[in-house]
Structure formats: structure tokens, C-alpha cells
Structure 1
């Protein structure tokens, strides 16, 4: 799954990163020296390049934070450590070490199917083994049956429960009673 970028894409990426870095580096350098931003580069070349290095360190920390968020988001949708590792070009074990909280290790009780009853109807929540996402299927108090469509998988059990609850509320035997049950 590791993708390579073309030389043209690399050049465009370098330019975009440098264009994004320059205002931050200028502002940081101005704060550190007390000089106006337009004069912050009129200094010893070592000091100037070290300020750029310091700015890259801050960008690196932000990229790591955003990367961890992306890994956790992928994990919440059912991605495995093997898939995370493949996307990052590392092993499954490396991905587990890099992002230890990316995959939800819910207790078995949280991962099991469960039944919710609301507004006179009921819905079953279950985890789809192929996607790792959650689904629901229910019967409203008015007899209407429905379920999450075949392409809908929810990241959490709570999200699937919310969708099932909305269905059950909509199909209460007496809509006024369903509204009163809120």
C-alpha cells in the first residue's frame, strides 16, 4: 500500500512546505530576536538556519500529532495494526508500538451484540466481522423492520445505537408516546 510520489509531486510538496514554514519561522525568529519580521533574516547564517531547524521541529511535532489522530481514526473504523503498518511502511508490531491507542481494545462485553429497547420497539447492535464496524437491525413498535444499509458501518457501538434509536423513535406505536419517552 506504500505509495511513491513523482519528482514533480516531490517538488510541489517541498515548495508547499517551505511556503507554509516561512511565516512561522519568521514570526518565531522575530520573537526570539526582538527584530521586526522583515529584518529577522539579516543575522548570522548559523542563527538563521538554527531558527529554521527549530521551526521544523515544531512542524514535526504537529505532523506526529496529526498522524496519531489519523491512525486512531482509521482504527476506529476497523483498520488493523497490520493495515496501519502497511500504510506507514512498517510492520504490524511497529504500528502497535508507534500508535498503541489506535485500535480499540474494548472488553469482550463491549464487542458483543446487544439489544436495545426504546419507544416500544427493539434493535440489535452487532459488530460486522469483515469491517470491524457496528451495524443495527430493528423492529419498531408499529411493526416496521429496518436495518443499516449494507454499506453502512458505524465506528462505535454508540453511533450504531444512536441510529437505531432514531429509527425506533420514528416507528413508535404512538408517535406522541415516543416523543414523551425522550
Structure 2
């Protein structure tokens, strides 16, 4: 994923929207600091007014960082890697890991899960590195099977479905 470019028209619209969102907050903060009513926010020493706007942008910046971390965590919860997040943000994988250390949660390796169906058995296992699932099994007819070498499933249930289909195909032959 490449970092998207913003057009001049989009930049103008973004600036306008951000300023419209900032002004009520800046007015409220300045009013609390000076005791002046919000509609008189711009009255007073121009440097003081500009500094109060700057201080308000700092608050907005902190909120954007919080929302950005939330978005990174959401992406990580859906399986995005630090490499993908870094690409979206225009930084390296290592930079993304440093910026959002808790965005990608590596689940601890789980013990394999046994499955018995149609007279056969299968074992579901989670890959600790990717969090994805695989399976191996032995049908009731003695046939052994497994997910392909490069095949990993996104959920335990998906791996169980494939293992179950294998076990169903390999039931014991009836005499």
C-alpha cells in the first residue's frame, strides 16, 4: 500500500474542516483561561490569542495520535502486520512497531486441538508466528492427510471444516 497523495482541492477542504472543528475548542479554552466570553476569544493581545490557538492544536495533535493508535490497533486486530501498517503510514515495519507497539498482538501458542469425526481423528494447531491455523489427520480408513505445506487458515473453525471434510471422505470401508 502506498501513502495516498492529497490534491490541492482536498487540502483546502481539509484545512477548512479542521479550522471549523478547532475554533469552538480554541474559543472555549481561551475563554476559560482569560475569563472572557467565547465570542470575544479574538480580543486581546494577538500573541496571546495565537498562543492559545497553538495550545489548542497541541490538544488536537494528541487526540489525532490517540485515534491513529486506535486505527492501528483495529488494523492489527484484523490481521494487518507491522509491515502493512508501516507501508500505509510511509514508514518501515520497525518504525510501525515502535510507533504502535501494542497494535499487533501475538497470541500465545495454543495446545493442539483434537477432533474426532467419522471414525478418524485430526489435530488443529495454531502457528505462533502468524496466528493462523493448520490441521493434520488420519481417516478411519488409515489415510493420512494435512493442510498443504503453505496453507494456513484464518480461524480455528475454518481449519476444522477442512479437517472434517477430509475425515468424512476417509471413513472406514464397510464390508
- The 5 Å alignment of 1:11-160 reads 11-109=12-110, 114=113, 127=132, 133-137=154-158
- Kept in 2, the 8 Å contact 1:84–1:92? The answer is yes
Structure 1 pair 18–130 and aligned structure 2 pair: CA distance change class (3 A): farther
Unaligned runs of 5+ in 2: 117-123, 127-131, 134-149, 166-175
- Kept in 2, the 8 Å contact 1:78–1:131? The answer is no
Structure 1 pair 115–29 and aligned structure 2 pair: CA distance change class (3 A): farther
Structure 1 pair 31–102 and aligned structure 2 pair: CA distance change class (3 A): same
1:121-157 deviation digits (Å, cap 9, x = unpaired) = xxx7963588874251568xxxxx89xxxxxxxxxxx
TM-score, with structure 1 as normaliser: 0.65
Structure 1 pair 38–93 and aligned structure 2 pair: CA distance change class (3 A): same
Structure 1 pair 61–132 and aligned structure 2 pair: CA distance change class (3 A): farther
CA distance in structure 2 between the aligned counterparts of 1:83 and 1:60, rounded to whole angstroms:
23
Q: How many residues align?
A: 134
Structure 1 pair 54–132 and aligned structure 2 pair: CA distance change class (3 A): farther
- Kept in 2, the 8 Å contact 1:125–1:136? The answer is no
- The 5 Å alignment of 1:157-172 reads none
CA distance in structure 2 between the aligned counterparts of 1:136 and 1:65, rounded to whole angstroms:
34
1:59-96 deviation digits (Å, cap 9, x = unpaired) = 00000000001001101111010000000000000000
- Kept in 2, the 8 Å contact 1:77–1:133? The answer is no
